[in-house]
Amino acid sequence: MYTAPEKILAQGVSDAVKALYGLDADPASIVSSATRKEFEGNLTVMVFPFVKAARKAPEAVGNEIGQWLVENVPAVSRFNVVKGFLNIVIAPSFWTGVLAGIEKTEHFGHKPDTDASPLVMVEYSSPNTNKPLHLGHLRNILLGYSLSQILAACGNRVVKTNIVNDRGIHICKSMLAWQKWFDGRTPESAHVKGDHLVGDCYVAFDKHFKEEVKKLMAENPGMDEEQAKAASPLMQEAREMLLKWEARDPEVRALWERMNRWVYDGFDETYKRMGVGFDKIYYESDTYLEGKEKVLEGLEKGVLYRREDGSVWADLRNDGLDEKLLLRKDGTSVYMTQDIGTAKLRFRDYPIDKMIYVVGNEQNYHFQVLSILLDRLGFSWGKDLVHFSYGMVELPEGKMKSREGTVVDADDLMAKMVETAAEVSEQLGKLDGLSEAERADIAEIVGLGALKYFLLKVDPRKNITFNPKESIDFNGNTGPFIQYTYARIRSVLRRAAEAGFAGGDYSAVEPGEKESDLIQRLADYPAVLAEAGRTYSPALVANYVYDLVKQYNQFYHDCPILKEENAGVRSLRLAISDATARIVADGMQLLGIRVPERM
């Protein structure tokens, strides 16, 4: 069984202060951190909490506890005290035991879930159906997916979900454009992905609409843009179509279903290439009426109110917010209404303990309001819902505008990344001797790895400029650098196996400083995962993996492995290499990134 050195130390210190000062200190409350570079040691404990009970100066307390630990805890070999900080040197022999523990644990650092684990639902992607996924969605989806993976690794039961906003005026615009200007074109006949075709329709609507507005203004002097937009026959037609949709007009519904199907087939392809998925997908067309019902229920209970014109509102002024419209005077629902309905269906399907919405920071206010509304409407998790709010992504060229068709399309970008990865490997000549299919697979792994890692390594709250060139660099904090190191380790391990070196005994070996330090870094992994789960931060996992890989490369540079003559030392180094590869692969897998066996 693997016990983290921090845990052993915490127990030791707890025992020490009991023995020395008769003090009861809960081991869980004794926290240690990595010793600062300028001092000797692996772990450092603060002794200030014990000074009062000891009635001695911090230095003296540190010395007494340190001495006690050396005498009673085999893992502790030496110590030094700096002010009130007790720096502990862990015995080298202890680290080989830690390494053996890591090697024996199947999913090192993961906590298994039980029936009593919290049920966490994570919503991500949540597209509209009038256009294909873009770069912003990529960040959203990668964050949501990796967050789900991390939370599951931390022992939660996780449900990955998606809400598709599949109804409303925007979809009607695409439908109308298709009827008018697309000559019955289908994804099959045009050889395009369905979501792209529907997106083209949306762009076409906007183009014609703008022309119409311009023309109206030219023909009617004195008409301003707002008036022209209101008078636009195209917009009127779109609105009429929405009314027909609401009235379940069979023809409109049939077209809507047909075009949405195209879109979903397109989305599925994109998700598949990204390597992500969902446990349960919700559709606004199923949830918005539930939302209406729930709002009317709230009206009855008196937590919402109706205005004279018939519209329904929530008064959130006591919460420091505005008044919020929930049903228009004609009874139609708004964006917020469908979120209430979606919440209702989700809770009916799953006894959610925690709900996490991965949605861009332009909707911060929306989720503040939603949280209060759900709470008032009786959702136990409403008040503590998490809006996982992330920043924008742009390309170096600048802003994206979906209506003008200048967005960075997710499919195009992925294809471009894979292409670039193939070119880079070609130039480096690293894949000579591999089959066409093997090369293609590696390009896929590296191209997408570069993209994903670049988007995930940053604090989610920050805006990013995605730079394709920088992301695919084989050096520095990039996906390919990590993947490359992984492939290198795997190659060493393969050669070791061929030479008959695998699985040797290293239990009697005293690891050197470089080796101990690297094992300590490996042993940090469970704490990093726990912290990443607690703070909802895939970036922590990403940067841990990078630091690990950097440290491994230094070790690899300094310590011979296959050339090492001493069989025990060689076995130790191979075991360290193997554990590093496994943890790198695991961390990357939590980020949704594959690692190649060769590269």
**Which residues of this protein are in contact with ligand ARG, per CB under 6 A?**
123, 126-128, 163, 165, 339, 357, 359
302/437 Cα distance (integer angstroms): 64
Nearer to ligand ARG, 321 or 431 (CB): 321
Q: Closest separation between CB of residue 165 and ligand ARG, Å?
A: 4
Q: Cβ 341 to ligand ARG, closest distance in Å?
A: 11
Residue 338: CB minimum distance to ligand ARG, A? 8
345 or 530, CB closer to ligand ARG? 345
CA distance 67 to 590: 41
Distance separating alpha carbons of residues 303 and 519, to the nearest angstrom = 57
Give me the residues paired with residue 123 across strands. 161, 357
Helices and strands (DSSP H and E) totals, the chain: 22, 14
- Residue 53 CA to residue 20 CA, distance in Å, equals 10
Q: Using DSSP bridges, classify how beta strands 386-390 and 76-82 pair: parallel, antiparallel or unpaired.
A: unpaired
Q: How far is the CB of 314 from ligand ARG (least distance, A)?
A: 16
Task: State how far the Cα of 171 lies from the Cα of 127, in Å rounded to an integer.
Answer: 12
Amino acid occupying residue 6: E
The answer to whether residues 65 and 21 touch, using CB atoms and an 8 Å cutoff, is no
Q: Is 73 left (phi over 0), alpha (psi -120 to 50) or beta?
A: beta
Q: Which residue has the tokens 């061929």?
A: 498
> What phi, psi does 162 have (nearest 5°)?
-150, 140
- Scanning 472-537, the segments in alpha helix (DSSP H) are 479-498, 513-523, 525-534
Longest CA span, the chain: 95
Distance, in Å, from the CA atom of 296 to the CA atom of 290, rounded to the nearest integer, reads 10
CB of residue 371 to ligand ARG, shortest distance in Å: 12
Decide whether 153 or 359 has the Cβ nearer to ligand ARG: 359
Nearer to ligand ARG, 339 or 409 (CB): 339
> Pairing relation of β-strands 119-123 and 157-164?
parallel
Instruction: Answer yes or no: are the C-beta atoms of 364 and 332 closer than 8 Å.
Output: no
Q: Which two tokens stand for residue 586?
A: 């695991």
Burial grade of 353 (CB within 10 A; 0-12, 13-18, 19 or more): middle
> Quick one: 133 or 464, whose CB is closer to ligand ARG?
133
To ligand ARG, the closest distance from the beta carbon of 128 in angstroms equals 5
Q: Other C-beta atoms within 10 Å of 517: how many?
A: 17
Q: Which is nearer to ligand ARG, 95 or 367 (by Cβ)?
A: 367
Look at residues 408, 358, 471 and name the one whose alpha carbon lies nearest to residue 133: 408
Q: Give the residue with the Cβ less far from ligand ARG, 9 or 336.
A: 336
Choice between 128 and 227, CB closer to ligand ARG = 128
State the amino acid at position 259 in one-letter form: M
- Return d(Cα 573, Cα 175) in angstroms, integer: 63
Return d(Cα 56, Cα 458) in angstroms, integer.
45
Q: Which is nearer to ligand ARG, 128 or 179 (CB)?
A: 128
How many Å apart are CA 431 and CA 434, to the nearest integer?
6
What is residue 551's three-state secondary structure? helix
Residue nearer to ligand ARG on the CB measure, 195 or 586: 195
Closest by CA to 133, choosing from 267, 269, 268, 283, is 267
Q: How far is the CB of 563 from ligand ARG (least distance, A)?
A: 56
Q: Which lies closer to ligand ARG via its Cβ, residue 62 or residue 127?
A: 127
Rounded Cα–Cα distance for residues 518 and 516 (Å): 5
Is 359 within 8 Å of 140 (Cβ atoms)?
yes
Least Cα distance to 338 among 381, 303, 373 occurs for 373
Looking at this protein, which amino acid is placed at residue 10?
A: A
State which residue, 42 or 165, has the beta carbon closest to ligand ARG: 165
- Let me know: does 457 contact 543? Beta carbons within 8 Å: yes
Report the C-alpha gap between 435 and 218 in whole angstroms: 63
